[in-house]
Structure 1
Amino acid sequence: MERRVSECDVQAVDLGKVDIVHDEKAQDITAITSAFANLTRGQAIRKFWRLYGTILLTSVGAMYAGYAASVIGSIIANEGFIRQFATVTDSETGARVLASTHVSLWQAINFVAQIFIQMIAPITADRFGRKFNMWALTIFLTASIIFSIVAKTWEVILVSRISSGMAGGLLGSSIMIYMSETAMPQFRGALLASFSLFFAVGQLFLAVGLKILEDTAPLRFRNIFYSEFVLFGLWLIPMVYLPESPVWYALHDRPDDAKKALRRLVGNVDGYDVDHEYDVIKYEADESTRLQLQSGNTEWRAFFTKTNMKRTIISTLPFTMQNFVGAPLFFNYATYFFSLAQLDDPFLGNLIIQLVLVAGIISSFYLVDKTGRRTLVLIGGAFMSLLCFIVGGLGFLTPNAATGSALVALSSIWAFTYAISVAPIGWISLVELSSPLFRAKTTALASIIQSASGVLFNYTVPLMLSNQNAGWGQKIGLFFGGISVVYMIPVFFMFPETKGRTYQELDELFERHVKAWNFAKTETSHQRSVDARLGHSI
């Protein structure tokens, strides 16, 4: 019979070694586990509120990045921006407009820059630390703001997008890895989902700013760039306060620094033995290293094994899925899309979508750890595919007030579905499915795969939308509907359920080649270890 364990039960557990037992279906029971391994999510958050809040503070960087990454894609429908950077004349209206090729280049070059920096990021993250990459991210984002402010030609905007792309390429190997390594398994999913929330909040602030700009002073478009310094100031607070990741210290055999970092992150928690909890971190890091190096005599050779390559591909599935289900259309080019669809106020439409997105991501805090990652990705992906087909169908109707309202409504439903599925889980899986030893490398390679698809979609979407080129307009929804259905096939067969699992458990499940649909119901040696220490079945 199941029994929920209280905090008192856990604190009463003897931290001494337990007998190691064997099982034909799994590895030996581990001799060391956290004294708080069996807390529920609610118990863990209440007891480790300081740890939870500190890691949550890290998400401010996502808000800064979300604003900066989306600003060019959203401001391209602004009158003042168009006047400054227009280089061609619309064949139908005779008005000066932005060249669709320039719009495509601004977005595509961003992802090209991401790919470049992602090749370097794992090396710096492993050698110099996660905080090193976080500082590099800050520098590149700030540089992108400055270039945008001084730009008078489209080429300087291109340079700004390169700098922004450099920053975007560092997100996975800095903030996301840091959050995944410092969070407890019980609330890791919710905290990693907070990254998506703050990223969306940054986009929401941008949408609000653009709407205010449109209604008050549409020609003073540079005010949007100046406002980014507010987020820069907020981001400096956690940057100064946060210690380096204790896991990184453990991987580099720096126990004193790791324990100091743990004390700053956790604070004074009754029953918390920093020496024992460091031993748990060190044990998991060493076991993961031993397990991964079994298949290669060097770290890089071990990384390029079949199992690790499979983990890399799986970790990028939900993240790359964002591009296939229509994110470049509904987010990166929302105002452009709505203006071409002859919506009366494209900035209002974008603002509505961003509000829905934030509401959905708040809901995902509960859903990702309760419903699970795999279920949300599969159901959400299928529903977004359907919505894309319906949006594409609207393209065959004559644009009017009714079709405009329908487009905003469908886009909002799509945004909510996206917010509770691939928006948070894309970032979660990026860092959750990698082993501690290869986390920076796996995250970087998985991000490169996503960025490569980003180059393709973000360059071609404006060309498909604009009457300067293909002129598909809303019919582009049929394209995204079709490719997202095809993409769901590998997702179904490869993407596993990871909620509540420790990284040690995930290492074991992958080494045992457990099928994706069996991850949730497969017992691990870690679970049996906890059972043995508590003296009952969970």
Structure 2
Amino acid sequence: MGLIEGQDVARIDSKAAAAIASKVEDYDALVHDAAEATHAQEKMSLGKAIRTYPNAILFSVILSLAVVMEGYDTLLLGNFFAQPAFAKKYGHCNAAGKCEIPAPWQSGLTNGSQIGSIIGLQLTGIASERFGYRKTILIALVFMTAFIFIPFFAPNLTVLLIGQILQGLPWGVFQTLTTSYAAEVTPVALRPFLTTWVNGCWVVGQLIASGILRATVTRIDHWAYKIPYAIQWVWPVPIFIGCWFAPESPWWLVRQNRLEDAKHSLRRLAANDREFSDHEADQTVQMMIHTNELEKAAAEGGSYWDCFKRTDRRRTEIACVVWLIQVFCGGPLMGLSSYFYTKAGLPTDQAFNLSIGQFAMGLVGTLSSWFLLRKVGRRPLYLYGQIALFFLMITTGGLAFKADDKSVSWAIGSMLLIFTFIYDLTVGPVCYCLVAEISSTRLRAKTIVLARNAYNIGGIIANILSPRMLNSTEWNWGAKAGFFWAGTGALCIIWTFFRLPETMDRSYGALDILFEQKVSARKFASTEVDMFASHSQATANAHGTSSLDDEKASSTDKVDGVVANTTGLAYKYEA
């Protein structure tokens, strides 16, 4: 197993250490530099990380703004269903003159972008490993600019559906690579902030969309929905410029064996020589090489199929379910918030007012999550967040039995406001952090692709069910839909308790060891990790004359305060 009997210590597999030693010229130097860089990463304070990597923060934030576009547009369509001008143009009107988009078309339109995203995601996993993150995002931005013309000029629902599908293609790129880039250009201390900021960009996009929808809701002409569509052209150009000047992911460059380019990328991401020296850049590249070779020893391939082999199967499962939980905890009600509010009995203008407040609270929740992530950790925040959402859904469903009372309608709206705050404090942002950290570095883009596609498939199911739950000509559940999402949320809570590990303050190499040694999810936080073995151990094991499993060995190789452990115990550092 690789776990020391009676102790919570996971160590590098002996065969993996031997495989790494056989592929590098100076294994001891690699271990020494990788150990020092790992120690520096895991012990780096937040203040030090900000001073050292300001450019990494800047470029990660700029590239993540691409998700603002997606958050903006995905909210538009769901809330257009509650907009009178849009319903009159594309919907069916009854004898009383009340117009509504048929439920099948509501499902089809919202699923169109999901289908496009699934295709775009699969292509992203291949393109990003071949061309790099930066070039793939640049190409996607060009296509996004062109595809906006389709919904803007759409004369009917069919053309609108085509536009949704085509816009989904570049969204697949943004969903994956913004998270991957944030995870790979920042150190451990900054990782939770920059990965969860991707969720913040979603919320910013939704908040902007809510404000624009509220401003246009009283219009009765076609500009009521054309203006919101046209505003999408604001985003691509500034993001394209920022992406053009951004450095490529150093992890991707190491995987391509472009080591000098990786070092140059690291220097561009850092502040200056005083904060991040040339020697430290070399050591960081060595750490990346060690982690990359460790993962290659565990799984040689880098295809989608490899995501379902050996320990990567568990990592893929966790990434997929973590993202699915965003759907099945009740998240779809937020995307249809204005429509949900009107079905709960609120006037249209008040429904859009509540939507603005809803996503403003979501942004506050995301920013607040940054303080909890460093104090509480990923697993507790994700678990207790779901429990809170479960009780909110139960309460929302219960209030539906008195929905004729206007005060109860406002109470239902308030429940969704609180739901959004809790969601964006816990499940929403923490998901991005977990998915980025759970995957191995070699399979990160592909694992995130599979996880996001699991989310999209879950979203398609939700988009089929949710309009029928709310539509007056279908099931007409209204707020009683909360009971359904409470049921699915309960299943998510059970899975999280037994299967979700804690990843806080772990380097990617340490996480590789924990997964390779099959450490229980509930023991991830308490288990120490031995990532490094000396050259004598590794080469002796390669020749069959010794074993890293000999727990009674007592020698250690010590270089510059770093103990490269040969006893099978976790590596330690002297002050």
Instruction: Give the alignment's TM-score, normalised by structure 2.
Output: 0.84
RMSD, aligned CA: 2.5
Partners of 1:300 and 1:211 in 2: how far apart?
A: 43
Paired residue for 1:10? none
| Equivalent of 1:467 in 457, 472, 497 | 472
1:300-315 correspondence to structure 2 within 5 Å: 302-315=306-319
Match for 2:497: what amino acid?
Answer: F
CA positional deviation for 1:297: 6.8
Structure 1 distance, partners of 2:102, 2:289, is 51
Is 1:119 matched with 2:104? no
> After superposition, what is the alpha-carbon deviation per residue over 1:323-365, rounded to whole angstroms, capped at 9, x for unaligned?
00111112x2111111112212211111111111011111012
Q: Distance in 1 between matches of 2:305 and 2:559?
A: 34
1:262 alignment partner AA: L
Conservation of the 8 A alpha-carbon contact between 1:85 and 1:153: yes
Aligned to 2:259: 255
Question: Which residue number in structure 2 is paired with residue 360 of structure 1?
Answer: 365
Measured against aligned partners, the alpha-carbon deviations of 1:9-62 in whole angstroms (never above 9, x if no partner) come to xxxxxxxxxxxxxx9852389432327322212222133333323322222222
Work out whether 1:424 is the aligned partner of 2:411: no
Change (3 A) 1:302 1:293: farther
Which residue identity does 2:111 align to in structure 1? Answer: A
* 1:171 matches 2:174: yes
- 376-385 or 35-44, which deviates more: 35-44
Checking the alignment, whether the CA contact within 8 Å between 2:254 and 2:288 is kept in structure 1 is no
1:132-184 residue CA offsets vs partner (Å, 9 max, x unmatched): 33124323432342111111101111012112221222234311111110011
Q: Which runs of 5+ in 1 are unaligned?
A: 1-22
2:339 counterpart of 1:336: yes
Does structure 2 retain, via aligned residues, the 8 Å contact 1:495–1:516? Answer: yes
| Structure 1 residue 401 displacement after superposition | 2.4
2:40 alignment partner in structure 1:
36
8 Å contact kept, 2:116–2:165: yes
2: CA distance between counterparts of 1:164 and 1:369? 36
| Paired position in structure 1 for 2:527 | 522
Q: Aligned partners of 1:112 and 1:412: how far apart in 2?
A: 29
* Contact 1:294/1:302 (8 A) holds in 2: no
The answer to whether the Cα contact below 8 Å between 2:365 and 2:425 also exists between their aligned partners in 1 is yes
- Distance between the aligned counterparts of 1:530 and 1:513, measured in 2? 30
Q: Are positions 1:244 and 2:248 aligned together?
A: yes
The residue aligned with 1:4 is none
Runs of 4+ in 1 over 4 A off after TM superposition: 215-219, 295-302, 526-532, 534-538
Question: Partner of 1:26 in structure 2?
Answer: 11
Equivalent of 1:139, from 118, 138, 142?
142
Q: Is the alpha carbon distance of 1:143 and 1:395 closer, same or farther for their aligned partners in structure 2, counting shifts above 3 Å?
A: farther
- In 2, are the aligned partners of 1:293 and 1:302 still within 8 Å (CA)? no
1:312 deviates by 0.7
Q: Look up the match of 1:433.
A: 438
Residue of 389, 393, 398 corresponding to 2:394: 389
SS at the partner of 2:489? helix
Kindly report which structure 2 residues correspond to 1:133-532, keeping only aligned pairs within 5 A, or say none.
Answer: 133-215=136-218, 219-221=222-224, 222-274=226-278, 276-295=280-299, 302-330=306-334, 332-344=335-347, 345-525=350-530, 532=561
In 2 relative to 1, CA 298–388 (structure 1 residues): closer, same or farther, beyond 3 Å? closer
For 1:116, the aligned partner's letter is: I
Q: 8 Å contact 2:340–2:470 — kept in the other structure?
A: yes
- Normalised by the size of structure 1, how large is the TM-score? 0.89
Q: Which residue of 2 aligns with 1:533?
A: 562
The Cα shift of 1:537 comes to 5.9
Deviation at 1:210, TM superposition (A): 0.9
Distance 1:218-1:349 versus aligned 2 partners, 3 A rule: farther
Q: In structure 2, do the counterparts of structure 1 residues 531 and 525 end up closer, same or farther at CA, with 3 Å as the change threshold? A: farther
Moved more, 290-299 or 254-263: 290-299
Quick check: which has more Rg, 1 or 2? Answer: 2
Which digits, 9 at most, give the CA deviation of each residue in 1:285-331, with x for residues without a partner?
4533443444557766644313101101111222211100111112x
Partner Cα separation in structure 2 for residue 368 and residue 306 of structure 1: 29
Aligned CA distance change for structure 1 residues 299 and 103 (closer, same or farther; 3 Å): closer
Instruction: Decide whether aligned partners of structure 1 residues 524 and 143 sit closer, same or farther in structure 2, where only a CA change above 3 A counts.
Output: same
Q: Distance in 2 between matches of 1:460 and 1:53?
A: 40
- Asked if the contact 2:251–2:288 (Cα under 8 Å) also holds between the matched residues in 1, the reply is no
Instruction: Kindly state the Cα deviation for residue 275 of structure 1 after the two structures are TM-superposed.
Output: 5.2
Give the residue type in structure 1 aligned to 2:426. Answer: S
Q: Runs of 5+ in structure 2 lacking a partner?
A: 1-7, 18-27, 534-557, 564-571
Report the residue type matching 1:101 in the other structure: P
Q: CA deviation at 1:502?
A: 0.9
Distance between the aligned counterparts of 2:131 and 2:299, measured in 1?
26
**Secondary structure at the counterpart of residue 186 of structure 1:** coil
Cα distance change, pair 202–531 in 1 and its aligned pair in 2 (3 A): farther
2:307–2:316 CA contact under 8 A, matched in 1: no
Separation in 1, partners of 2:146, 2:404: 41
1:317–1:495 CA contact under 8 A, matched in 2: no
Identity between Structure 1 and Structure 2 (%) = 26
181-190 or 72-81: which moved more? Answer: 72-81
